[in-house]
Homo-oligomer: A and B are copies of this chain.
C-alpha cells in the first residue's frame, strides 16, 4: 500500500491490570490478538493512552515484550521508549530492537521546559546511538513542543529518524510539516495522533494515525482508513463523522485515559482499576460516561445496551450516517464470518 517503513493505523493499547494492580499478561495477549484479527496495521505499546508514565521502567519493558511476542511478526510494532534520561532510553530502544519492534517512538522531554535547541540536542543524541529506527512523538499538550523547524533539522541530519507521530491537533501545522519535509526526506512517515481529523490528514497525504479509538472500535477505524485509501471519500467522511461522539466521550469524557479503559472493557476485556486514584465524584461521573459509551457501541451493533436502556440518541449523532456505518460494519463482520 505504501513504500514507507510505517503506515496505517496504530493502536496505542491500554494495559489491563489484575486485582493487585499488576500487568495482566493473558488479557494483554488477548487484546493483541483481537486487534490483529480486526485488521489493525500496527501495535503501539507505551503510548500516552497506554499510560507509560504510570509504569516503572521494568514494567514498560515487560509490556513491550508481551506485545511483541504475541504479535510474532504479524503487524508493525512501534514501541514507546522514552525513559528518564538518554542512557536509559537507548537501553530501552536496544531491548525493543532485540524483541523485533519495527521502530521506537520517543516523546519530547517533558516536565522541564526546554528550548528548541535542547529538543534538537536530545533527539540528535538518541538518533546517533539508537540501534533501531525511531519516530519523533510530538504532543505539546503534555511535553515540550517539537517545532516544524526542529523536525526539519532532525529529518535532514538523521536517517535513523524515520517519521513523526504528531498529536498536536493542529492540521495547519501538520500540512506545513509534510510540505516542508517531504522534499528533503521522501521516506519520512507522518502519523497523526488526533482522531477527529484522521480522514483530512489522510486526504492531505498523511501515512496514517495513532488512534486511541482504534483500541475500542478497531473495525470502524480500519473501515475509515481503508475507504480513505481507496479514494472513497464520501463514505469515509460518514465514518469519520460517525466516530465523533465516541471520540468526544472516550477522550474528553473523563481525565484521559480513564474513559478509554471503560470503553475497552465494554468490548469484553478485563481492564482492572487504573493506577491514578479517582475521587468518589469522579467514579460516579465515569459510570455515566461508560453508560453513554455503551449506548454508542450498541448503536454500532458492537455491545448490548446497558441495563435500563439508552436515550434515543446522544445529541449531535447523525442517525443516517450512523445507520450507514452500522450496516457496513455488520456486513463486513458477516462477510468475514466474524
Query: Which residues of A are interface residues toward B (Cβ below 8 A)?
Result: 21, 48, 53-57, 84-88, 109-115, 117-118, 120-122, 124-125, 141-143, 169-172, 175-176, 179-180, 182-183, 194, 196-197, 199-200, 203-205, 231, 233, 237, 240-241, 244-245, 248, 255-256, 275-279, 281-282, 315-316, 318
Chain B, Cβ-Cβ closest to A195: B172
Q: Tell which of B48, B113, B248 touches A176, judged by Cβ atoms closer than 8 Å.
A: B248
Q: CA–CA, A52 to B1, complex, Å? A: 45
- Give the Cβ gap from A283 to chain B, nearest Cβ, in Å: 9
Please state if B204 and A175 are interface contacts (CB–CB under 8 Å): no
Other contacts beyond A21-B87, A55-B84: 12, CB < 8 A:
A54-B84, A56-B84, A110-B110, A121-B278, A121-B279, A172-B194, A172-B196, A179-B244, A180-B315, A200-B204, A203-B233, A203-B237
Please state if B179 and A197 are interface contacts (CB–CB under 8 Å): no
Q: CA–CA, A118 to B196, complex, Å? A: 25
Q: CA–CA, A183 to B175, complex, Å? A: 30
**Given A56-B88, A171-B200: A121 touches B277 (CB 8 Å cut-off):** yes
Q: CA–CA, A171 to B194, complex, Å? A: 10
Please state if A241 and B171 are interface contacts (CB–CB under 8 Å): no
Please state if A275 and B111 are interface contacts (CB–CB under 8 Å): no
Please state if B200 and A114 are interface contacts (CB–CB under 8 Å): no
Chain B, Cβ-Cβ closest to A203: B203
Q: CA–CA, A156 to B300, complex, Å? A: 28
A sample of 17 cross-chain residue pairs with beta-carbon separation below 8 angstroms, ordered by A number, consists of: A56-B57, A111-B111, A112-B142, A113-B142, A117-B281, A121-B279, A122-B277, A171-B196, A172-B197, A175-B244, A176-B196, A179-B245, A179-B318, A200-B200, A203-B203, A203-B233, A203-B237
Chain B, Cβ-Cβ closest to A126: B277
Q: Which residues of B contact A118 (CB under 8 A)?
A: 255, 276-279, 282
Please state if A172 and B169 are interface contacts (CB–CB under 8 Å): yes
Q: Which residues of B contact A276 (CB under 8 A)?
A: 85, 109, 112, 114, 118, 121-122
Chain B, Cβ-Cβ closest to A196: B172
Closest 5 CB pairs of A and B: A200-B200, A172-B196, A121-B279, A180-B316, A125-B277
Q: CA–CA, A125 to B273, complex, Å? A: 14
Chain B, Cβ-Cβ closest to A141: B113
Please state if A53 and B112 are interface contacts (CB–CB under 8 Å): yes
- Give the Cβ gap from A140 to chain B, nearest Cβ, in Å: 12
